Every structure is written in structure tokens, then in C-alpha cells.
């Protein structure tokens, strides 16, 4: 299983997926890399400008990763922007993928959610307070987390403040039009014939539930699992439901 994180400031493989790796790694070989331009991976200098160009570079690097590790087939589990990379892998190297799990996936021709501008423009005024507000927007009910989101924000700031991390983030979102973001076309998506599990929080403020409905309509072999009272972090907010759904999907029971 290839776990692909999202694009929030400071996002890494472990920051997105540590909550579920322990549940799945006993039965599956799990990879959760820092994708190109994130975390401790390489940060190109100068970086590709804009979502389309950086997506191409990132998918190139993921294909190279599979080659280096000798992995013939994987099931990507893509969160948010990681869903875009998963779908691009399916288009470019379909024989290298088994199934696909999309969680709060971007890439549909749907206006971005109301919290995307704060994420994309984080480095205009970066601060612990701004990071805390961003993390609170990821979840349906921040009060359930007490002071945990503030603590996570404080821990992330040292990483977020790195010049290479900031440079890659700003380049990724260069020229973003939140009302008409870069997306896959209906023909792009219709050509994907893999079994796909779409998991999406109904109250997602970053990638709205309309995106999940669009993917469900256009992906030939899709299952849609919508979860109410849930935001963008299904794997954390609805941890057990997410893990159970993924297990049943991989076992052919969903």
C-alpha cells in the first residue's frame, strides 16, 4: 500500500498516516513517503511552478520510487492532493496499480472548499495561530480534540519554517484559482478502470463532498463511502470506520 499525504503546510507521510499505519502494517506492506517537495524529500530549486507542473514532477518521482523498490503493483491511498497523484498514477502507469483508495481527494472540476485559500496562502502570514486555525478547519468539531490541535501546530512550526518547505508550498499553489482549480477531465477519469474506494467527509471544508459525488459519477468501478459529521481528516476523525472500510475494500468485501 502506498500512502500519499496531502498538501497542507508541513504535511509529511507520517503526519498524515501515522494513525492508520499501525492498524494495517501487520497485514500489508505499507509505504508512507514524503513526496517530492514535502518533508525530508528533495525540494527542487527552482521548483516547478503551479499545480499541473509540480504534479507531473511528483508523479514522475513516485514512479521512480516504485522502480527503485522493485514494486510491480501497489494500491495507492491518496489524501487530498495525494488523491490527484493516485489518479495520475492510474492514468500513466495503470498496470502498476491494483486498487485505489481516495480520501477527500482533489482533482475534480469542482470549486475548491472555503478553507483552501487559507491553506494555499499560509505563507503570506505564517504563525502558530494561523496553523492552529488551519488544523481546526480540517476537522468537523475541533472541540473534540481539546488542546491537541494547538500542540500539533506548535510542533509543526519548526518544520514549516524551513525555507525549502516554504518554497515548495508557494510554488505548488502559484496561480491557483480556487473557483476553477486545475482538474482532471471527465475523459481522464473515465479511462481509469481500477476498483476505487472513495471515502469523503460530508462536512469537508477543503475538498467539498460534491467532488466525491463527481468522482463517483465518472469513475467506472467506484464505491462511495460518505461519512457525516466528518471533515477532511477521515483517517483521524473517523479512524475505525476508515480502517474497516479500507480492509473490506482490499478483501473484496466492499
Active site residues: 80, 204, 232
Cβ atoms 112, 181 nearer than 8 A: yes
Dist CA 64 CA 191 (whole Å): 23
**Grid-cell match 502558530, residue found:** 128
Total residue length of the chain: 254
Per residue, what are the HEC states of the chain? Answer: CEEECCCCCCCCHHHHHHHHHHHHCCCCCCECCCCCCCCCCCCCCCCCCCHHHHHHHHHHHHHHHHHHHCCCCECEEEECHHHHHHHHHHHHCHHHECCEEEECCCCCCCCCCCCHHHHHCHHHCCCHHHHHHHHHHHCCCHHHHCCHHHHHHHHHHHHHCCHHHHHHHHHHCCCCCCCCCCCCCHHHHHCCCCEEEEEEECCCCCCCHHHHHHHHHHCCEEEEEEECCCCCCHHHHCHHHHHHHHHHHHCCCC
Amino acid at each position: 500500500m502506498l500512502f500519499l499525504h496531502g498538501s497542507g503546510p508541513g504535511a509529511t507521510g507520517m503526519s498524515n498516516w501515522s494513525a492508520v499505519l499501525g492498524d494495517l502494517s501487520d497485514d500489508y506492506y505499507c509505504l508512507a513517503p514524503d513526496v517530492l517537495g514535502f518533508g525530508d524529500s528533495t525540494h527542487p530549486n527552482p521548483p516547478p511552478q503551479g499545480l499541473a507542473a509540480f504534479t507531473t514532477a511528483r508523479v514522475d518521482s513516485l514512479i521512480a520510487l516504485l522502480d527503485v523498490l522493485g514494486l510491480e503493483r501497489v494500491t495507492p491511498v491518496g489524501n487530498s492532493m495525494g488523491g490527484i497523484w493516485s489518479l495520475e498514477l492510474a492514468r500513466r502507469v495503470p498496470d502498476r496499480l491494483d486498487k485505489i483508495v481516495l480520501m477527500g481527494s482533489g482533482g475534480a472540476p469542482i470549486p475548491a472548499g472555503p478553507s483552501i485559500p487559507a491553506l494555499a496562502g499560509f505563507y503570506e502570514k505564517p504563525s502558530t495561530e494561523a496553523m492552529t486555525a488551519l488544523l481546526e478547519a480540517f476537522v468537523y468539531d475541533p472541540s473534540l480534540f481539546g488542546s491537541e490541535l494547538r500542540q500539533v501546530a506548535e510542533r509543526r512550526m519548526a518544520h514549516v519554517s524551513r525555507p525549502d518547505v516554504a518554497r515548495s508550498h508557494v510554488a505548488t499553489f502559484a496561480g491557483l484559482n480556487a473557483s476553477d482549480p486545475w482538474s482532471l477531465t471527465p475523459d481522464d477519469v473515465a479511462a481509469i478502470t481500477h476498483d476505487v474506494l472513495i471515502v469523503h467527509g460530508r462536512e469537508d471544508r477543503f475538498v467539498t463532498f460534491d467532488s466525491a459525488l463527481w468522482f463517483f459519477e465518472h469513475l467506472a468501478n467506484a464505491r462511495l463511502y460518505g461519512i457525516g459529521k466528518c471533515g477532511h481528516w477521515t483517517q483521524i476523525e473517523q479512524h475505525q470506520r476508515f480502517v474497516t472500510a479500507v480492509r473490506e475494500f482490499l478483501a473484496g468485501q466492499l
